[in-house]
Structures are given as structure tokens and as C-alpha cells.
Amino acid sequence: MYQTNNPIIKHKVGLLNLAEELNNVQKPVRLWGYPEIRFIAIRNLLTMVG
């Protein structure tokens, strides 16, 4: 689970946590109307940083 206090990326971290909890990327992406390719890029960046 990812955590942050940065208000700029907090929304994106919430999306990542939801996908991890559901064990599914497509459900939260469709639910939030977020492009899947952008989700994957954010996930990759956070795994490199964290």
C-alpha cells in the first residue's frame, strides 16, 4: 500500500491502492475514468521511487 502526504499525488495514490486492494487494474480505472496507460506509468514511477 502506498502512502503520501503530498496533496498533488494523493489522488493518484488512492487509485493505486484501490487497484491493489481489488487485485484488478481495469475496475478502478473505469470507475474513476482514468486512462489505463497513465495509471501504469504512475505505478511504474512510484515503484521506482518507493
- Which residue from 6, 9, 15 is spatially nearest to 34, judged by alpha carbons? 15
Give residue limits of the domains in the chain.
10-49
1-50: per-residue pLDDT in tens? 667 787 767 777 777 777 788 777 777 778 778 788 887 887 787 777 75
Which residue shows C-alpha cell 481489488?
22
* Residue 39: predicted pLDDT: 77
Distance between first and last Cα of the chain: 11
pLDDT for position 21:
81
